[in-house]
Each structure stands twice: as structure tokens, then as C-alpha cells.
Amino acid sequence: MSLSGDWKVELEFVRGHARHALNLTQEAEQVSGRYRTQFGVQEIHGRVEGDRIDLRASIHHQACGATYRFTGQVDGDLIEGDVDLGEYWTARFRAQRQA
């Protein structure tokens, strides 16, 4: 199954939540695309192996920045897992494919 397409992303941080969006393109095991947050649109890239996904995006706002590392499990039109935010701790995410 290809992960190419649009995805709605829900994040649960230690304090609060956010709604973001992904537009992904998959070629074999390589995944790339655009990650839309309240801070703009950034590139995202990574790989999928079986039902496991590993994606990274660098988020910058003013003088602050963090790398978001998404690791999780793909189940059809749903991806769920964890986000490593480096010094900003961790979060949980759930991405749902959009029709």
C-alpha cells in the first residue's frame, strides 16, 4: 500500500494538542513530502519498512527550532505512533488519510 496522498495529523503534546497536515509521496521504501504546521510548510522525509514508518521534519519559528521525528505503525489509512521533539520532549500522533 502506498502512503502517497493527503493526511490529517492530530498531535497530543505533554501540554496541549495541535492539528497539522501531511502531503506524502512514496517511491519504494522512501517517503517525502510537505508537512504543514501553524509555523508554515516544511519538507518531511523518511522511510517505511513493512508497517513501520520513520519520518523527520525540521520545524522553525523565529529563533527556535526542533526536529520532529515521527515513528509509528501504518494500518491502512491510519498511522499512529510517537514524535520525538528532542529537547522539547515527546508527543503522540495519529494521522488519517484524507479522501
Nearest to 18 by CA among 76, 93, 70: 93
At 42 the pLDDT is 94
Instruction: Tell me the mean pLDDT per 10 residues along the chain, length 99.
Output: 96 95 98 94 97 94 86 98 91 96
Contact 28, 73 (CB under 8 A): no
pTM: 0.91
At 55 the pLDDT is 98
Domains in the chain with CATH codes: 5-97 (2.40.128.120)
- Tell me how far apart the alpha carbons of residues 51 and 95 are, in angstroms, rounded to a whole number: 14
